[in-house]
Amino acid sequence: MSSYAFWNNKGGVGKSFLCFVAAAEYAHRHSNTDVYVIDLCPQANVSETLLGGYLNSPKALHSLSSKTPRSTVAGYLEARLNSPFRMIADVSPYVCEPREFNPQIPGNLRLVCGDNLLEIISEAIRQTSQLQIPIDAWKQVLSWIRDLTVSLRTHSGERDTLFLIDCNPSFAVYTQLGLVASEGVVIPFTADDSSRRAIENVVALLYGITDPNTAPYARISFAKRAKEEGVSVPKLHTFVSNRVTMYEGKAASAFIAINKIIKKTMDDIHQKNRHIFANPKDLPSNSFIEIPDYHSACVVAATTGTPLHKIKPGPKKIGEERVQLNPEPLWRYRDALEEFVNCL
């Protein structure tokens, strides 16, 4: 696969940070591949990190959104609203090189920056998709981000490409655009029952697979319309148990217990619906990856925009605060995240 959406119907599970890690590490390892990050979250968290972290990115974000047209994903979608059913010949104005703002980022990584305007124009996008003419308006609008990936692949020429799309937890129209543009879905979650329910929502929203109580709504669902109109949806690729609390080098028993429940939930769904999984022959529980919680490393990376491969143990200064990164938990954290990147 060459395009992945990072999505869960629950917020706060670390999807944007995981997208940042995947993009920076994959680009670092594969210098002959153009890695594109498309930020479809109005909060623009992955863009903030790529552009230098929370402390340094506001100036970069302002610079990109102040251009004419806006050098952001909202700028691209505004252009599509002005010409809904015609591809844009030149998408380069909407793409930036994070390395220009954050020299720690590999030079082969590109960003279609997030933008809070995305939320404001979302209703206009939705209404455009509901036009009666042309008759395939919904299908064409839902393909806008996929069209962007096609143009960017053309721009990269003979070089390999990888697309990582950070999606908002809501199932808003811009989230649907990101999912339709992807081949696989990476689902980060935390070990709690709300994450289990959110993953069940992912399955219901994307594929219309749900329990009898909500089955009547399937008749008007995204999944039903996508099937009827020939809009492809991505397969479930990887499940990432994020921020696992460790005790004496092992996951705490409470996390193990919840993980078992979530794994069983997905294995049960797989038994009758193998077609929704990227690897239909394998049990989903075999593709679960555990990432230990190491808050200090997250703070250093997110605040400074430092990729994982550049983070070293030792004392760090974040603003006026001193943060200590100890070797053992840092190496354990890096090993787990590298295992995840290996899956892409």
pLDDT for residue 187 = 95
By C-alpha distance, which of 98, 88, 75, 87 is closest to 19?
98
Total structural domains within the chain: 1
pLDDT for residue 246 = 46
pLDDT for residue 321 = 79
3-state secondary structure the chain: CCEEEECCCCCCCCHHHHHHHHHHHHHHHCCCEEEEEEEECCCCHHHHHHCCCCCCHHHHHHHHHCCCCCCCHHHHHHHHHHCCCCCCCCCHHHCECHHHCCCCCCCCEEEECCCCHHHHHHHHHHHHHCCCCCCCHHHHHHCHHHHHHHHHHHHHCCCEEEEEEEECCCCCHHHHHHHHCCCEEEEEECCCHHHHHHHHHHHHHHHCCCCCCCHHHHHHCHHHHHHHHCCCCCEEEEEEEEEECEECCEECHHHHHHHHHHHHHHHHHHHHCHHHECCCCCCHHHHEEEEECCHHHHHHHHHHCCCHHHCCCEEEEECCEEEEECHHHHHHHHHHHHHHHCCC
- Could you tell me the residue range of the domain that residue 295 belongs to? 3-341
pLDDT for residue 59 = 94
CATH code, 203: 3.40.50.300
Summarised one tens digit per residue, pLDDT across range 262-309 is 999 999 999 999 999 999 999 999 889 988 876 788 888 989 999 999
Largest CA distance in the chain: 62
pLDDT for residue 219 = 56
pLDDT for residue 319 = 75
CA angle 137, 140, 144 (to 5 degrees): 135
Give per-10-residue mean pLDDT for the chain (344 aa). Answer: 94 91 97 98 96 92 96 98 94 98 97 97 97 95 98 96 97 97 95 87 91 64 92 96 57 72 94 96 91 81 92 85 86 90 93
pLDDT for residue 250 = 52
pLDDT for residue 14 = 87
Backbone angles phi, psi at 252, to 5 degrees: -60, 150
